[in-house]
Amino acid sequence: MNAVAKERYVKALLYAAAGLSVIILPVIVVWVATMGTGALSWEFLTEAPYRLVQGGIYPQIIGSIYLVGLSTAIGAPLGLASAIYLSEYAPNNAITKTVRFFTETLAGVPSIVIGLFGLQFFVYELHLKTSLLAGALSLSIMMLPWTIHASEEALRVVPKEYREASYALGASKWQTIVRVVVPAALPGIITGIILGMGKAIGETAVVWLTAGSGSEAFVPASLQAPTGSLSMYIYLVATQAKAGISHGYGAALVLISMFLTMSVTALLLRNHFLKKLNGR
């Protein structure tokens, strides 16, 4: 085979590989959408499950929303504060390097291990029981590294001229951070938070061990009550109740839709803040 033919052959293979990689997402999303639309109905979205696959998935939807909401409320400020410290205050010494190292380490911890930790620490040691609170705390651990990483990047990219101008006008360091740097970094920070939320909403292993069995027929009455979630529900239907799998598809469709809505909202928010930054 001469060089030209070989080149074309290789190029075809590379295109094929890229093609294969590209169709993964559409295939799965379209598959979920097609299989799931059949299950969608007003009752499905607003009723509680009865024997897992009858009725609807309302408590699971609310449970997922509560879990993601609460874990973001805990994890996002914490992550942002850490990122601000790392980007604006941290001296370039061994302590900072260690802190960074551990943040990256945390990103690599398998979700089931975080679930085990959440079970042992939040559910048992802190006596929180299998509950919304335990689940949200464990989920916030999962999202922490992503929020920190994205926020720190965003903060770091803010030109130092912004800070210098602010100082020149007499502002203190904290004032500068709050009124100049963070607003300038907001698009990136929001992206980081949404990334974290996306991980949290789809997370099953952690929720399984800390938040509830997934088949709950009721919305959690308090922070200490166990809560269902869409991800657990999908797992249960797929492994134990295949006869009613249409409900599983429906739940998967709702889950993906929620994630898409979050991502789109994030994108819109990002663009809004980007426009504000560039002066309308």
Q: Which positions from 172 through 231 interact with other proteins, judged by CB under 8 A?
A: 172-174, 198, 201-205, 208-209, 231
- The nearest distance, CB 225 to other proteins, in angstroms, is 20
Closest CA to 225 of 131, 134, 123, 127: 131
- The nearest distance, CB 57 to other proteins, in angstroms, is 14
CB contact set of 59 (below 8 Å; sequence gap of 6+): 48, 49, 216, 217, 218, 219, 227, 228
Assess 136 for contact with other proteins (CB under 8 A): no
Q: Considering only residues 13, 30, 157, 169, which one is a binding residue for other proteins as defined by CB under 8 A?
A: 13
Q: Which is nearer to other proteins, 126 or 221 (CB)?
A: 126
Q: Which is nearer to other proteins, 41 or 172 (CB)?
A: 172
Assess 158 for contact with other proteins (CB under 8 A): no
Q: Is the separation of the CB atoms in 209 and 190 below 8 Å?
A: no
Q: Which is nearer to other proteins, 11 or 272 (CB)?
A: 11
- The nearest distance, CB 280 to other proteins, in angstroms, is 27
- The nearest distance, CB 106 to other proteins, in angstroms, is 5
Report d(CA 256, CA 68) in Å as an integer.
14
Q: Contacts with other proteins in 83-112 (CB under 8 A)?
A: 84-86, 89-90, 98-99, 102-106, 108-112
- The nearest distance, CB 15 to other proteins, in angstroms, is 6
Instruction: Round the CA-based radius of gyration of the chain to a whole number and report it.
Output: 23
Q: Which is nearer to other proteins, 4 or 280 (CB)?
A: 4
Assess 126 for contact with other proteins (CB under 8 A): no
Q: Contacts with other proteins in 41-70 (CB under 8 A)?
A: none
Q: Which is nearer to other proteins, 50 or 174 (CB)?
A: 174
Q: Considering only residues 239, 243, 279, 280, which one is a binding residue for other proteins as defined by CB under 8 A?
A: 239
- The nearest distance, CB 83 to other proteins, in angstroms, is 8
Report d(CA 24, CA 39) in Å as an integer.
24
- The nearest distance, CB 70 to other proteins, in angstroms, is 17
